[in-house]
Amino acid sequence: MPYLTIDEKRVEFNQGQTIIEAAVTANIDIPHFCWHPKLSVSGNCRVCLVEVEKMPKLVIACSTLAAEGMVVHTHSDKTLEARNAVMEFILINHPLDCPICDEAGECKLQEYAYAHGKGESRFEEIKVRKEKRVQLGPFIKFDGDRCISCSRCIRFSDEIAKANQLTFVKRGDSVTITTFPGESFDNPYTLNTTDICPVGALTNQDFRFKSRVWEMSGTDSICIGCARGCNTEIWVRNNEILRLTPRSNEDVNSDWMCDKGRLNTFKFVNANDRVDGTMIRENGELKKVEWSEALVKAAAGLKEFKSTEIAFIGSSYATCEDNFTLVKLARSLGVNNIDFTQHILPGDQDDILIREDKTPNSLGAKLVGVKPAPNGLNLEGILRAIKEDKIKALYVMEEDIAALSNEWEEACGKLSLLIVHATNHNRTTLLANIVLSASTFAEKHGTFVNFQGRVQRIKPAVGTEEMDRALDGMNMSRWDKFGTKFDRWMQGHKYDAKPSWKILSLLSLQLGGKIKYEMAEAVFSDIAKTINEFNDLDYDVIAELGAQAKIKQTLAV
């Protein structure tokens, strides 16, 4: 491979790479604002100026192609003087509002001003004032005086979101960003611009002024909004989720996620309708009871019916571990009537990220066996059998089955026994005899399989009472292995909820079964041993970016 020298370090590069791209591969930092690896080059900011031997002037590293034998200096006196001058120029009209800016703590301008600025300005005139708090789109506020005209948002809208909605208007120090006349910045991916904006010009209206970045903990996770399974980071303060941001994974979502996934997939975790502990229906009303009482009641209720009179409903919102344990419990009881619901919105899909399947684990549920046995009933058959009084007991895991249709709601009302795992109260819990509080995706370990067959991990970002109990006497280094951060659970309300696989394991013991899982890792180990598609996988192999299951291509849709 050809090579160049950057700050006396030999760096190999591919033909066509620029100096800054070669530097990134060698972990050499060249300051930049407008350059982004997923966007076209604009060369607006000039902060990436470097000195190249035998060239008469400084060049911008973002658009200058690397060449064989090139010698580059990023910290020469000439380079530093020019960089300081550029920083002074950018800061001339920038407001000194870091104390109230949402970007503080993750702002490139703030970082570079400290690292590369002179710490003083020769500008004594009044700063140019521009519009503030402009509603650029339904989810974004724009503060024009903070904008440094890097054009990242304009290029993202055009090149990635395929919706050319933003542009520069005016000239000189009056230049600003706006939408085209009659347009709103409302494509499905607008909030990605708040991530790539290097300053606080574009802010997420939903998160605006809620917290400082250093007050929150970040946990790697997966978006549950559709079958894409975008890699995300969950940001938590006082045991409450405040925002989701995309996490880079070139095999799944690159650096992006859609606005719906970012805004609509986490608020139920701390909602007022959360199920907090177990409940049993007495005299027509749900009454809160201890876990032991609810599990004994559920076991006794199931024992009253023949296996042919019981049906189990799994969930494409639940993890592979949850669904696998559900199947295992059903089979141990001799129940063959088991299925799960699909949540497809025909046409609500694009060629960027969004999928018609609005659940994170429908393929995973199929792979771990949530399907009727050869002589069992599928979902439609279960509904028909309930109407005909052939199915009298229904066990529903993390699915609002009564909300599917009026038929299902009427059928749930006919049952002699309805046991429900639920994170939040819904139309099914209103009809249930026993409600068992299930942990959300943000409160447990587990795996999802996206539509391409990629197995990906979720981790607890929010603490529960179950987590507190598990930590007592636990080997902390073992929990650290899974990326658990304990300080995020010190304050804030903790719900009395358990992962569904844990609930099912405890219920199995009450029924005299042999399911005795203590950790999600043990459940997945069992999955990997018994299901061919998961062979050779474990949590370490899946790691942060996931691993491909051994599936037939026809399964991945």
Q: What was the pLDDT predicted at 129?
A: 87
Q: Supply the pLDDT for residue 114.
A: 87
Beta strands 240-246; 278-282: pairing state = unpaired
Dist. CA 458–CA 229, nearest whole Å = 11
pLDDT tens per residue across span 31-67: 999 999 999 999 999 999 999 999 999 999 999 999 9
**In degrees to the nearest 10, what's the CA dihedral of 243, 247, 253, 258?**
10
The Cα–Cα gap between 378 and 384 comes to 10
Dihedral of the CA atoms 206, 209, 211, 212 (nearest 10)?
120
The mean predicted confidence, pLDDT, of the chain is: 92
Instruction: For the chain, give the percent of residues with pLDDT over 70.
Output: 95
* pLDDT score of 118: 74
**Residue 551 banded pLDDT, cuts 50, 70, 90:** confident
* In the block, residue with structure tokens 């972990």: 27
Q: What is the 3-state secondary structure (H, E, C) of 101-157?
A: CCCCCCCHHHHHHHHHCCCCCCCCCCCCCCCCCEEEECCEEECHHHCCCCCHHHHHH
Q: Which residues contact 531 (CB under 8 A, 6 or more apart)?
A: 324, 367, 368, 369
**159 pLDDT band (50/70/90 cuts)?**
very high
User: What is the C-alpha to C-alpha distance for residues 287 and 185, in angstroms, rounded to an integer?
Assistant: 48
534 CB-near residues (< 8 Å, 6+ apart):
320, 367, 455, 524, 527, 528, 549, 550
For the cut 80, the answer to whether the pLDDT of residue 443 exceeds it is yes
Q: Which domains are seen in the chain, by residue range? A: 3-91 (3.10.20.740), 124-270 (3.30.70.20), 278-548 (3.40.50.740)
Over residues 470-527, the pLDDT tens digits come to 665 555 554 454 444 445 545 788 999 999 999 999 999 999 999 999 999 999 999 9
